[in-house]
Amino acid sequence: MRLSLSSPGAEAAAPKSNRRLSVWYGLLILILAIFIARLFYLQIVRHDYYRAQALADQQKEYTIPAARGTIAAKSGSGSVALVLNEKLYTLYADPAFIKNATEAAAKVAAVTNADKAEYAKAMKTKNSRYVVLARRLGEDQKKQISDLKLPGVGTQAQQYRTYPQGSLAAQVLGFVNNDGQGTYGVEQALDKTLMGTPGRLKAITDAQGVPLAASRDNIQVDPKPGKDLVLSLDLGMQRQLETILKQGLEASRSDSGGALIMEADSGAIRAMANLPTYDPAEYFNVSDAQRFNNATVSSPLEVGSVMKTLTISAALDLGVVKADTTYADPNHWKLDDHEITNIEEIGGPGTRSMTDILNRSINTGAVWLLMQMGGKTGEVTQTARERWHDYMVNHYRLGKATGIEQGYEAEGSIPDPKSGYALQLTYANTAFGQAMTATPLQLAAALAAILNGGTYYRPTLIDSIIDSSGKAEPKKPEALRTSVVKPSVGSELKAIMEYSVAHHTFKKPFPANFSVGGKTGTAQIANPAGGYYDNRYNGIYLGFVGGDRVQYVIAVRVNEPKVGKYAGSGAAQPLFGELAQMLINDFNVTPRSGG
């Protein structure tokens, strides 16, 4: 007999209890299934969406600005900073957080030495959350402001260019605008080199924006600082040139002018300036944009009689004349029904030499040289025009930008030798620097090419470029053309230009053991309505200083001086004299070996 422990009532309850358990179990499974399904939907199906949402809140992307390269000038064997970077602060207010504007304004104004009433007015501005109170505050002022702990008043750091030498070489340097772009001068021409490459940080951050290191999605690319530039400018020479230029322009009562000094054997610019100038640290206060222009590079002009140096060189190089050639000068030419004459002091027709053409600045002599290039006296033939055009454009590289590291370099203009109005007259004018335009820089580079034996070096303002590791890469002279003219032509022109200086009056005589040569130019200013103004002239001087070899080429430009008709000799020549004396006295010009 089987003994059973359960009662009949208990037998009936057991299936009921099992069913209840099954229901609960099923319910639990169902809830778990719902959870799993929901999690699957959120984490698998909507993964990308929610990941993006989360990252949008947690992940921040910062651009790390690259430090802009500095700019220095040479000084002896070292260099001196012209442009540096400085972190300054913008002081701002959020009017929504300021409770007592008068009190806050008084405290802030005491630090910035500004008008507290203006600050108070700004702090009460309605419908604005950001009001700039002051710019360019220093570190100390920023700290004082922070110590005040004023709600709604803050500072924001910003990098600025700073100029320890003030406005020295301002137009050569240019400036950096509010968008961080180099504008004018070297800053514009070498903007990419100076700018560097900004870095990037993409990271999961905490609530305060501090990047969390333990995120596999973090991306950090370090910025590459811009390269530093050492200019070929000599600090002392630049300073003296600017002083002499200022004095010269005042003496000749001219409003504007410029000058440059170039090394003949490399094309390196050692000094270059224009007046009036500006303070690059406060470029935003300049109302006349012309002040930003480095006119020596970017403002071409009809160069006048200094062009005769190039005309004689071309004729000598072509072999159509020799240095000792003389000819019968008629004192006027009639071309295309227009007459070309000379200044009164020439004194009528006569036998003239090459030296006379330059020393006495004989326009008809320059035209005669041009005629010889075509082989026909009395006519500027197409052959003459084409040969002269070839020299101007291909040998002397006029009408082309030199490629100097400056913004807005101008090309100038050379007339077409084959087509155009009154071609004979036009080309005759180019022989003495009218009816064409060039910049003083182009003229200096061309003259340097003739005098250094025939190599045209690209004018440059860069001595070396220094990368972020401190490695300096010297800029080598870049020869754009050799055989500009034969070396003998350079020697002959040097002698002719020395003669010209020796037969002109300078304030102080030059020491005999140095070679100083030059040529004046007085150019009529073109009237936009046609022809030329009768009483408006620009004065130019193109010359050199050296010993056995020409060391420096100097170009001077004086715009509309009030010195009468001869702007070249009256205004530009004295300036050249001062610059040449400065070079001889202070900058180690090597004298003649026989001196």
**Stretch in the footprint of other proteins (CB under 8 A) among 51-59, 209-217, 285-293, 532-540:** 209-217
> How far is residue 15's CA from residue 490's CA, in Å, rounded to a whole number?
124
**The one among 12, 56, 207, 214 contacting other proteins by CB under 8 A:** 214
Nearest CA to 426 out of 359, 526, 358 is that of 526
- Residue 86 or 386: the one with the smaller Cβ distance to other proteins is 86
Q: For residues 48 and 44, give the distance between their C-alpha atoms in angstroms, rounded to a whole number.
A: 8
Q: Which string of b and e fits 358-368 if b means at least 16 CB within 10 Å?
A: bbbbbbbbbbb
Least separation in angstroms between residue 230's CB and other proteins is 14
Query: Please, what is the minimum distance in Å from the beta carbon of residue 435 to other proteins?
Result: 42
Q: Is-contact 262 405, C-beta < 8 A?
A: no
Chain residues 162-191 in contact with other proteins, contact rule CB under 8 A: 162, 164-166, 168
**Which of 336, 548 has the CB closer to other proteins?**
548
Distance in Å, CB of 419 to other proteins, minimum = 52
Region binding other proteins by CB under 8 A among candidate stretches 95-103, 127-135, 208-216, 376-384: 208-216
Residue 330 or 511 with smaller CB distance to other proteins? 511
Residue 65 per-residue DSSP state: P
Supply the DSSP symbol for 458.
P
Cβ atoms of residues 567 and 537 within 8 Å: yes
* Residue 197 in contact with other proteins, rule: CB under 8 A: no
Minimum distance between the CB of residue 166 and other proteins, rounded to whole angstroms? Answer: 6
Least distance from other proteins to the Cβ atom of residue 534, Å: 42
Question: CB of 162: closest distance to other proteins in angstroms?
Answer: 6
Per-residue HEC secondary structure of 188-237 comes to: HHCHHHHHCECEEEEEEECCCCCECCCCCCCEEECCECCCEEEEEEEHHH
Is residue 450 within 8 Å of 489, Cβ to Cβ?
yes
Nearest approach, Cβ of 147 to other proteins (angstroms)?
17
Task: Report which secondary-structure segment, H or E, holds 132.
Answer: strand 131-137
- Token duo for residue 575: 């300036």
Six token digits for residue 442: 């182009």
Q: DSSP characters for 503-526?
A: TS--SSPPPTTSEEEEEEEEEEEE
Nearest partner of 295 among 269, 267, 264, 256, judged by Cα = 256
Torsion angles phi and psi, residue 22, rounded to 5: -65, -40
Choose, by CB under 8 A, the member of 107, 136, 202, 239 that binds other proteins. Answer: 239
For residue 305, the SS3 value is helix
User: Per-residue string for binding with other proteins, 502-531, x by CB under 8 A?
Assistant: ---------x-xx-----------------
Q: Crossing angle, helix 423-430 and helix 363-374, to 10 degrees?
A: 120
How many residues belong to the site for other proteins (CB under 8 A)? 28
Among 45, 117, 212, 502, binds other proteins (CB under 8 A): 212
Residue 276 interacts with other proteins (CB under 8 A): yes or no = no
Q: Minimal distance in Å, beta carbon 213 to other proteins?
A: 3
CA distances from 347 to 123, 125, 343, 431, 568 (A): 77, 77, 8, 21, 20
Does residue 86 touch other proteins according to CB under 8 A? yes
Q: Could you give the string, one character per residue 125-164, with x where binding to other proteins holds by CB under 8 A and - elsewhere?
A: --------------x----------------------x-x
Pick between residue 28 and residue 210 the one whose CB is nearest to other proteins: 210
Q: Please report whether residue 81 would count as binding other proteins according to CB under 8 A.
A: yes
Among 95, 152, 211, 276, binds other proteins (CB under 8 A): 211
**With contact defined as beta carbons under 8 Å apart, do 398 and 411 qualify?**
no
Residues that bind other proteins (CB under 8 A): 80-81, 84-87, 139, 162, 164-166, 168, 210-214, 235-236, 239, 511, 513-514, 584-585, 591, 593, 595
